Amino acid sequence: MLKEIIRSLRPRQWTKNVFIFTALVFDRQLTHIGPLLICLAGFSIFSLVAGTVYIINDIADIQSDRMHPRKKSRPIASGHLSIRSAVIAAVLILAVCIPLSICLSPIFASIVVFYFVLNLAYSKWLKHIPLVDVLILASDFVLRVAAGVALINVERFSPWMYVCMTLLALYIGFGKRRAELALLAGNAGEHRKVLDGYSIPFLDQLITIVSSCTIIAYSFYSFSAPNLPADHTMMLTIPFVLYGVFRYLYLIHIKQEGGAPEELVLKDRPLQLTLGLWGLSVIAVFYFNL
């Protein structure tokens, strides 16, 4: 049962919580042991709380998940984990994580609680409203960044990162919806009611808008944010962002993937290489004064 509970927490999707480290990296505190350990603790707490949201979602979506070609194998939908056991596990995790988050930072704790409540509302009502559903998913990523800011004393973190994060999350969210429509075809509405409010041409327009804005916003950040090196070397990271955006477009349009972006990061080698090179270049610019 423990194995099925861990599966229900979806550790593969915890990769999204690395955005908690955004403030740590971009405020040039990655080499400071104290802030690093605090962010690691915050990452662990946020991941477990996010996992309880996944459990609640799986309970709420049990019938539709059983009709989905991939999600029917999830522990709760498949019957390998009972609803009662899943509820007990979620309650216990929250009972431990919320007090620990308060110990780290009251502001961090408030963000964690807000994230949890917002996603409960998403599971119950908001996920059925076209556009609002993706906006909520995007706000989850912004909350992760804000949670990282709340954990440490930040002096050089640029608000541009919130703009870039919002646009990137919208881009990924609309790509996810497009992939779901393409996968489920005529049965899309039976699995996820909100998909009846979308069409592939409409999503393609939205993806074009937010992908363009993401590139523009990041480009502006790379030479205008006040915390960057004066020689504008941060602009050298723009090509990696360009390729990453184009690669994701390739995956959702040509490969018909993108329904699980967090899994793409774990299996698509070109995307992994791009993210790795971007990360190394950012560290080089910030920490080695290129």
* DSSP class of 194: G
Predicted TM-score of the model (pTM): 0.85
- Whether residue 241 contacts residue 275, with contact meaning beta carbons closer than 8 Å, is answered with no
Please name the residue that has the structure tokens 């774990």.
266
R_g of the chain, CA atoms, integer Å: 19
CA distance linking residue 74 with residue 10, whole number of Å: 10
pLDDT tens series, the chain, 290 aa: 788 888 888 888 888 899 999 999 888 888 899 999 999 999 999 999 999 988 888 887 777 777 766 777 778 877 778 888 888 998 999 999 999 999 999 999 999 999 999 998 988 888 889 999 999 989 999 999 999 999 998 877 788 889 999 999 999 999 988 888 887 765 655 566 788 888 889 999 999 999 999 999 999 999 888 778 888 899 999 999 999 999 999 988 888 776 677 777 778 899 999 999 999 999 998 888 64
Domain locations along the chain? 1-155, 158-290
Alpha carbon distances (Å) from 97 to 14, 90, 101, 104, 221: 16, 11, 6, 11, 35
User: Measured in Å, how far apart are the chain's first and last C-alpha atoms?
Assistant: 51
Which CATH number fits the domain 1-155, given the four candidates 1.10.357.140, 3.40.50.1820, 3.40.50.620, 1.10.3720.10? 1.10.357.140
CA distance linking residue 254 with residue 274, whole number of Å: 19
Structure tokens at 102: 């308060």
